[in-house]
A and B are shown apart, each in its own frame.
Chain A
């Protein structure tokens, strides 16, 4: 039960956040100008990646609430930080970002730090 929830959360978060990044990058840089933001919302509401990402993140959110009823926060937080690893790998191979060694090091430090903070 516990590990099934972890699996659902990690898969849904990873897929959701990568799709969100993909959809938003496809849209291009949002420029904050008064009177134009409603048009941005209208365009994004028809962006398939964005819609799919919100569905996946909703699944992840409710699975996380479910996980919190059967486990401690000190288990839930570090175990879901695994998504950082998968997302950084997918950022390189699916989103074609240039993940330099500085970013790899930073991401690794953060993952170890999150694990220690929630112990």
Chain B
């Protein structure tokens, strides 16, 4: 049981890292690639063929897929706070690559988010309820 929960915890952290990375980088490329204005409906299609925009869209598809995979075993009330570390990464990336100032208020916000993420990820198990199908499988038996 303990090795099972350790396995789930590791799997959760790896998958959460993919969710966070793909979301932050996907949004970054999308914003870099988007023109200031989209004129007409056709522009919404042609903009997808810009390399930066297509890379951003691909990363956001990876984000959707990895988030769905993560939610297939992890609780929503666990995934929400843990993946919000992305807000911190965006602020820090802005400081490193775009030389944006981080005010004291923003540093306080970053500290609060990190405390929340640490509390939930280290202090609670990723899963508190089993899927109805898995529960059914356990009662039927382990014939696999």
B116 lies within 8 A of A110 (CB): yes
Cβ contact of B124, chosen from A28, A103, A109, cutoff 8 A: A103
B110 lies within 8 A of A17 (CB): no
Most chain B beta-carbon neighbours within 10 Å: one of A30, A105, A108, A115: A30
B80 at the interface (CB under 8 A from A): yes
Main secondary structure of the interface of A (DSSP, over half): helix
Per the bound structure, the CA–CA distance linking A20 and B67 in Å amounts to 9
A103 lies within 8 A of B73 (CB): no
B105 at the interface (CB under 8 A from A): yes
Most chain A beta-carbon neighbours within 10 Å: one of B79, B81, B111, B113: B81
Determine the residue in chain A with the shortest Cβ distance to B137: A28
B residues less than 8 Å from A108 (CB atoms): 116
Question: Beta-carbon contacts of B100-144 to A below 8 Å, as 1s and 0s?
Answer: 000001101111111111011001100011011110000000000
Determine the residue in chain B with the shortest Cβ distance to A100: B124
A117 lies within 8 A of B120 (CB): no
Number of B interface residues at 8 Å Cβ cutoff, please give it: 40
A114 at the interface (CB under 8 A from B): yes
Cβ contact of A113, chosen from B87, B120, B128, cutoff 8 A: B87
A20 lies within 8 A of B68 (CB): yes
Taking A24-B68, A100-B124, A106-B123 as contacts, is the C-beta distance between A112 and B112 under 8 angstroms?
Answer: yes
A residues less than 8 Å from B75 (CB atoms): 21, 91, 95, 97
Taking A105-B119, A117-B91 as contacts, is the C-beta distance between A27 and B72 under 8 angstroms?
Answer: yes
A residues less than 8 Å from B64 (CB atoms): 54, 57
Q: In the assembled complex, how far is the CB of residue B120 from the closest CB belonging to chain A, in whole angstroms?
A: 4
B124 lies within 8 A of A114 (CB): no
Q: A88-B80, A102-B124, A116-B105 are in contact. List 15 more A-B contacts (CB 8 A).
A: A20-B68, A24-B69, A27-B133, A95-B129, A97-B76, A97-B78, A102-B120, A103-B77, A103-B78, A107-B120, A110-B113, A113-B116, A116-B109, A119-B105, A119-B106
Could you list 8 A-B pairs, sorted by A, with CB under 8 Å?
A: A25-B72, A77-B87, A84-B81, A97-B76, A106-B119, A114-B87, A116-B105, A117-B110
Task: Please list the 5 inter-chain residue pairs (A to B) with the smallest Cβ-Cβ separation, ordered nearest first.
Answer: A116-B109, A113-B112, A109-B116, A113-B113, A117-B109
